[in-house]
Amino acid sequence: MTAPTIHATEIGTEGPRVVFLHGLFGQGRNFTQAAKALVPDLRSVLVDLPNHGRSAWTETTDYEVVADVVAEWLRTTYDGEPASHVVGHSMGGKVAMVLALRHPDLVDRLVVSDISPARSEGAGEFEHLLDSLARLDLPALELRSDADEQLAPHISNAAVRGFLLQNLRSTDDGFAWQANLDLLRSELAVIGGWPEIEATFDHPVLWLAGEKSDYVRPEHEETMRSLFPRTRLATIKGAGHWIHSEQPDAFLSALRVFLLA
C-alpha cells in the first residue's frame, strides 16, 4: 500500500520514537527545539499534518479522516516497529486523541498539550487570524516583510505574525499559501469541535494544561477520563496555550519524566 503524502522530519536515531503533531496553521518544525533537546534519549518525528506544511491537502478537516491519514502513514512508514509515543498540541492534540482511540495499536504513550476532547472556546481568535491572512493582497507582495506590514494593523503581536507567515511561500508566480487556508477557514467549526467516539484508550496519558489558558477546563475532565482512564493532568505554571514555546523547560521536563518512565 502506498503511504499518504505526509511530510515529516526525523531528529535523533536512538531511543523510543515520539511523533509530534502541531496545532492549527503550524508545522512539524515548530517542535524542532524540543526534539533536539530530547536527543539522545528519544528520537522524534515532526509531522506536517494534512493541509499544513508540505503534506497533502484533503477535502475535509474531519478529525477521524485526518487521524486515519496519519495512521496509514505511520503503518506504512514504520511497519513492524513498536508503537510510537504521540505528542499533540491544540488541533494536533485532538488528532492525537482520535488517533489513539481509533488506532490504539499505533500509540504507546500519549501526551495532549492544552486541549480537551470538547468543543474549543477559542475559535473566534483563530477566525480573526485566518480572516486577516485571507485579506492579504498576495499579488501585490514583493517581499515577505510586505506581508508583515499589511498584517500589523490587524495582528499586533509580532511573534504571532511570524508564526502565521511561516506558511507563506515564494513561488515562480509570486507568493502563495502553503497551508490550505481556504479549507481551514471554512471548517473552523469542525476544527473547534470534537467527534463522538465510543472507544477508550487504556494506555498512560499525560494531559498538560497551560495555567493561563482556558482550553482545559474542569468540566472537560469527566469526558477526558472516560475516554482515557489512565490520564494524569499537570498544569504548567506561567504558560498560556503554546506551552512548548512559552515554558519550554517545563514542557521538556514533563515529556522526559512521562515518556521515559
Question: CA 4, 9, 15, 20: dihedral to nearest 10 degrees?
Answer: -70
The active-site residue out of 90, 113, 116, 120 is 90
How many Cα atoms within 13 Å fall on the side-chain side of residue 154? 19
Helix or strand run (H / E) with residue 87: strand 84-89
Whether 120 is a known active-site residue: answer: no
- How confident is the model at residue 1, as a pLDDT? 44
- How confident is the model at residue 77, as a pLDDT? 95
| Residue owning grid cell 473547534 | 192
Whether 241 is a known active-site residue: answer: yes
CA distance 241 to 46: 19
- How confident is the model at residue 121, as a pLDDT? 76
Extract the C-alpha cell encoding 243: 506551552
The active-site residue out of 137, 182, 202, 214 is 182
- How confident is the model at residue 3, as a pLDDT? 52
CA distance 45 to 34: 11
- How confident is the model at residue 4, as a pLDDT? 60
pLDDT digits (tens, 9 = 90+) for 186-199: 999 999 999 999 99
> Where along the chain do its domains lie?
8-120+193-259, 123-186
| Single-letter amino acid, residue 62 | D
pLDDT digits (tens, 9 = 90+) for 23-79: 999 999 999 999 999 999 999 999 999 999 999 999 999 999 999 999 999 999 999
H helix runs in 13-120, sequence order: 32-38, 63-77, 91-102
DSSP reduced 3-state for 51: coil
CATH fold of 8-120+193-259, please? Answer: Rossmann fold (3.40.50)
Which residues of the chain are under the pLDDT cut of 50?
Answer: 1
- How confident is the model at residue 16, as a pLDDT? 96
pTM of the model: 0.95
Whether 128 is a known active-site residue: answer: no
Helix or strand run (H / E) with residue 11: strand 8-11
